[in-house]
Every structure is written in structure tokens, then in C-alpha cells.
Structure 1
Amino acid sequence: SFRIFEFDPKMKPSLTVLSIDVTLPPLRAVVELATGRPELLSGDSFQLTCHVPEEPSPFWSFQWFRNGRLVGNATSYEITKARVQHGGFYTCKGARETELNPQGVMHTLTSPPLKMHVDGGWVILQASTDPMIVQESLILMCRIRGNPIPSEVILYRDGTEILRHHHNILVIPNLTLDDQGMYWCRATWENKGLSQAAQSLAVKVNVLAESGDSTVRRGQTLTLKCITEFNTRQTDLVLHYYFFKDDKIMAPATSSSEFSLHNVAPGNAGLYRCKAGVFKLGLEKWSHELNIQIL
């Protein structure tokens, strides 16, 4: 609706603030594996932790879900002797008291799922859950229940034998894109004087061509640089920079063209871009978006 006011030149200019609305961007919880591995043998233990990277605080309370069903209410979720039914997709979400909304409670979005696999068999192949990079070394463990010393271990990729050893630690150095694929192992060992053999289920190994500027490993420092071209003869003009993640501003305007995030975690992944502006001239320019992945 519109309202029309008559202008009285004798009146002094005035400004009245009627209201201010605060809209908080939704925060997302993150679930991480604190102890154990994503692939386990039944009887093993594991512990998951939940946190909110964008707003760390000891006052968060968390709920835990397995395959969408509530399984716990704590900062961490622990299973000491895992059974096959403990496998699945785990998520968490947080809540805490706040004075910034009428309900008095702030809720996070549900975390991305973390898959846990609990194997009831004799042999399991344990591999990195993160994508590998070309020229890195892939370290695999063909683990046998009870951890006996194997007499022979054979590693397969996409159905083809690629390694044969007498120990269960298998290393593929200097990875290439051809090393990507489905891996499994077959182990033979002695059990009460008898030879026993079993094969693991297959696990997928992904290999990326290169890390590049758009891929950062967790725990590293991510440095963004806003590169500009500014043609003018004036020397008293100051450029101000803004950095955004998923279209949300990350910090107040700064005169520095660089912005760093230390000890990055999966919650730091997203679409980043910067904006440069000259207040004096009313100029603003945006960069293209850069998709940052955290491995």
C-alpha cells in the first residue's frame, strides 16, 4: 500500500525508525567420526561427534538419528560393540537457547549424513573415505576378524588382481586416474592348524586429477584473494572488499583483498565469491562464484 504526504517546507527533516527485523541465516550441524572407521567388523567400537562449525558453543544440545530415526541425545554418540544393525546413515541436529527469535530456541539444519558400515563377515577392506589425488599413495588394510597374521592377501580392482602380499597393509604409490575403481581383497590365514580364506565386500576409491584452488583438505588454511582491475588517475580512492559464502556475507568490509579460513572442516564447503567497491564513486563489482570442496 502507498500513503501520500504533503510536503511542508517549514518542517525540519526528521527520521523515525519504525522497526527492525532480524533474520538469522540457518546454521547446519556437522557429524564427524571421532574414533573408529566408517567400515567396521561387528564387535568393533566407534564414536561420532556433532558440532556447529559456524557457531561453536558449549551450549548446544544435539539429537542423533540413524536412517532418520532418533537414537540419542548427547554431544557424541558411541557404540562400544557394534552389530550389523548399527550400520546406516547417521545425522545430527542442534538446538540452543537464544534471545534473537520469539521462540527463544535456535535450531540447526540436519547435518549431511555419515555412512557407517558394520560387516558381519571375516574380512573387511578399509580405505580412505576421502577422494584421493593423483600422485598420492593409497593405503588399504585387508583386515581379518581377530587380527591373525595372514599367509596371503590378494587385492583386486574391478575384478583384476593387482597386488599379492603376505601382510594386510597394501600400498599403491603414485596414483593415476586409472587407479579409480571398486576394490576388494581376499585373505588366507591359519585357524587352529587349518587354512581359512575369505573375501571382503567391494569399496569404491575415487581419484581426482588435481586439488586445484577449489579443493582443500580438512585442517588446512583456505585463503581467498579478490583480484581487481581499477583504472583511474585518482590516488585517494580506497577499494573495499566483501567476501561471501553461499550468498551470505562472511565479515564486514575490509581494505584487504585476502580473506583466510583456518583449520577448515566439511562445513566450510560451498560457493564463494567476492565484491569490490569504491564508496566515493559508488562503484561495485562482483566476482564469479568459486565452488570450494573440502576433502
Structure 2
Amino acid sequence: MQTVISLLVFSVLLQLVTPGVALVTSFRAVAELVSQKSRVFSGESVRLKCSVPDDVNQSSWSFSWFKGSELLPQTGKDLILWKVKVQDSGTFYCQGEKSSMIGNIHTLQSLPVEISVDGGWAILQVSPHPSLVGNTLRVACRVRGEPELHEVILYKDGLEVMRQRGPNPTFDLSNLTLKDEGMYSCRASWDSHRRTVSVISAEAPVHVLEALSQPALEIDTDSILIPEGKMKLICHLQYNSPAPAPPVQYYFYESDHQLGAATSENHYQVKQAPGQYSCQAKVPELGLSRWSDPQIFK
């Protein structure tokens, strides 16, 4: 029996040190746009960069690039798409690899970068990331060839929301609310050869999130980690403030009675007892406070 175990251990060690064995790490490569524009005109070029976080020796890594599930022939930390066509639109990823004494090490595949190539005359440049309630979002109407514009109109869900005259085709959506979420487009006009030219962009989505979502209270009595006769109150929420974000404080209640002190943990154990329970999440530094709907435990 001992001989069999020794052979198994030796086999495992042999596999670990065999060159060419691919090991996947727990950290993820990062793909980012260098050109800062995820929506571009056909004929323009796009540059993406891949890196491995917290590793100063970036030169020791090689990188692979993917469009969807397809492995691209390009390698290296930079992916340059020259004179793109509409069919070049898609979702791009990268992955890092380097050799070591125990084999080739692979990072996790990066989060996606979406590239949209427009064959038309106008593009509404909108941040691909959601904006937060109360913030200001700047959108820009970009026209192929950059003619001198005399009027730009911004539409939301097909209805005009702003109109601007002059050569600067940008709009600020200030003090955002959830009602500002929708599909936006722009129409630009300029004069050419004694006639007015007018073009409209494709629609682009604007997403708006609350910095602190409404909490949802879960009452857990089934987990094997909960002592007999007790239950765990769990306050679920989505906290969307960008890093470095101030901490959230959680409060738990039975009716109007606060259970214990405020905590940075989103859960709290109490004795099982019938009642109406709720939780509150606060971010004092941002002046945010949200309550869950009450949950009745019988």
C-alpha cells in the first residue's frame, strides 16, 4: 500500500515539474483601451493594451488576444486594429502567459472590452460604464471628417432632449436620476457646398445606477454553521461607489428595536423569535442611507 502511495506522489510531482504543463493562476489579466474610444468609425484604428496587475516585470509575460472565443494571430501586450471595418466589431479579451520551473503559467482571461465599428457619419460617444445617480455624464456627438457643425440635437428614446448651436458637439447630463437611463442618439448639421447636410447617429445606451441599492433582508435558519436555536440576518445590497469607496455600516432591527451595534459585516446572528425584521445600510461619508423592506419570521 505504501509503495502505491509513493508512486502516486512521485507521479504528481513529475507532472508539476514537466515543462509545458499549463497552470492557471487566480489573478486576471487586464485589457484596456488606449485610444479611449469604444465606438469608432470604419477606417479608423483602435489600440488595446494587456497587462498583469501587481507584476512590475511585465516583460516576462507574453499575451494572447481573443475576439469572442476566437484566438487571434496577434500576440504581444498591444493589439492594434488598423483601419477597422464594421465586421471588426466585437468583444475582445486577453490572457497572459509566462514560463516557470513548474511549467507555463496562465492568468485568467481579462474582462471583456467591447468595440463597436460604425459605418455611418455620426457617433454618439457615451461612457460604456454605468453612471451614478447625482453625477454628471458628458456625451459627445462625433461626425466623420470633423466638419464645422452649426447645430447638434440630442435625443433620448427618439425624443429631443437638448439642442446646441455652435461647433462644440457635447452635452452634459447633470444631476442624473434613474429616469435618465435610456437609448440616446444625436443629429448633427453643417453646411457644405451651399447646402445643409444633416446626419443622425445610431442609438447608444446610457446606464444609470444608484450608489447604494435598496437592501434586501434574508433570514437564514438552515445553514449548518448557524448554532441551534439561532438565525442569521443577511443584508444584501449593491454598493456602486468607485474605489476607494468609504465603508458601509449595517444596522439590524426587530420592529423598531435595534439589534446590537452597527457593524461593517452584512450579517448578524440572533435568537430565533417571531417578529418583523429589517436592515439599514448607511454610508455616513456620502450621506447615504437605505432601508430594506421588512421580513416577517414566524
TM range (shorter): 0.5 to 0.7
Matched, 1:33 2:33: yes
Residue in 2 aligned with 1:278? none
Q: Following the alignment from structure 1 to structure 2, what is the Cα–Cα distance between the partners of residues 49 and 24? A: 21
1:64 offset after TM fit, Å? Answer: 0.9
Aligned residue for 2:171?
170
Q: Which has the higher helix share?
A: 2
Per the normalisation by structure 1, the TM-score is 0.63
Distance 1:224 1:57, change over 3 A: farther
Query: Are residues 225 and 107 of structure 1, via their aligned partners in 2, closer, same or farther at CA, if it must alter by over 3 Å?
Result: same
Change beyond 3 A, Cα 1:216–1:114: same
Residue deviations 1:2-38 (CA, integer Å, cap 9, x gap): 9xxxxxxxxxxxxxxx999899743322211112400
Contact 2:209 2:240 in 1 (8 A): no
Separation (CA, whole Å) in 1 of partners of 2:172 and 2:248: 37
Residue pair 1:92, 1:111 contacting (<8 A) in 2 also: yes
- Note if contact 2:156-2:184 (Cα within 8 Å) is conserved in structure 1: yes
Q: In structure 2, give the amino acid aligned to 1:127.
A: V
Provide the TM-score with structure 2 as the length reference.
0.62
Kindly state the Cα deviation for residue 226 of structure 1 after the two structures are TM-superposed: 11
For 1:46, give the aligned amino acid.
Answer: V
Q: Which runs of 5+ in 1 are unaligned?
A: 3-17, 228-257, 259-271, 274-295
Residue pair 1:133, 1:211 contacting (<8 A) in 2 also: no
Mapped contact 2:91–2:113 kept (Cα < 8 A): yes
1:142–1:153 Cα contact (<8 Å) kept = yes
CA distance in 1, matches of 2:209, 2:239: 12
Aligned partner of 1:214: which letter? Answer: Y
Give yes or no for contact 1:88–1:117 (8 Å, CA) kept in 2: yes
- Contact 1:181–1:204 (Cα < 8 Å) also in 2: yes
Alignment partner, residue 115 of structure 2 = 116
Q: What is the one-letter code of the residue matched to 1:125?
A: L
Check conservation: 2:31, 2:113, Cα contact below 8 A: yes
Take 1:226 and 1:120, find their aligned partners in 2: how far apart are those partners? 49
SS at match of 1:178: helix
2:202 partner SS: coil
Match of 1:214 in 2: 239
Percent identical residues: 34
Give the 3-state SS of the residue equivalent to 1:146 in structure 2: coil
- Greater shift after overlay, 166-175 or 52-61? 52-61
Counterpart AA for 1:40: V
Aligned to 1:248: none
User: Is the Cα–Cα contact under 8 Å of residues 35 and 46 in structure 2 kept in the other structure?
Assistant: yes
Q: Is the 8 A contact 2:211 2:241 kept in 1?
A: no
Counterpart in 1 of 2:49? Answer: 49
Question: What CA RMSD, in Å, does the superposition of the two structures yield over aligned residues?
Answer: 3.4
Larger deviation, residues 54-63 vs 66-75: 54-63
Q: Which has the higher strand share?
A: 2
Per-residue deviation, residues 122-143 of structure 1 (Å, max 9, x unmatched): 0110011111111111111111
Deviation by residue 1:50-84 (Cα, 9 ceiling, x = unmatched): 12225453211001112322321111111242222
In the TM superposition, residue 109 of structure 1 has moved relative to its aligned partner by 2.1
Query: 5+ unaligned residues in a row in structure 2: which ranges?
Result: 3-8, 17-22, 214-237, 251-263, 267-298
**Aligned equivalents of 2:56, 2:244: Cα separation in 1:** 18
Cα deviation, 1:156-183, whole Å, max 9, x if unaligned, reads 1112110111141111111111111111
Look up the equivalent residue of 2:128 and give its one-letter code: T
Partner letter of residue 98 of structure 2? R
Q: Does the CA contact (< 8 Å) of 2:153 and 2:164 recur in 1? A: yes
Please state how far the C-alpha of 1:194 moved relative to its aligned partner.
Answer: 1.9
* Mapping of residues 95-114 of structure 1, within 5 Å: 95-99=97-101, 101=102, 104-114=103-113
- Kindly tell me the number of residue pairs found equivalent between the two proteins: 213
Aligned to 1:187: 188
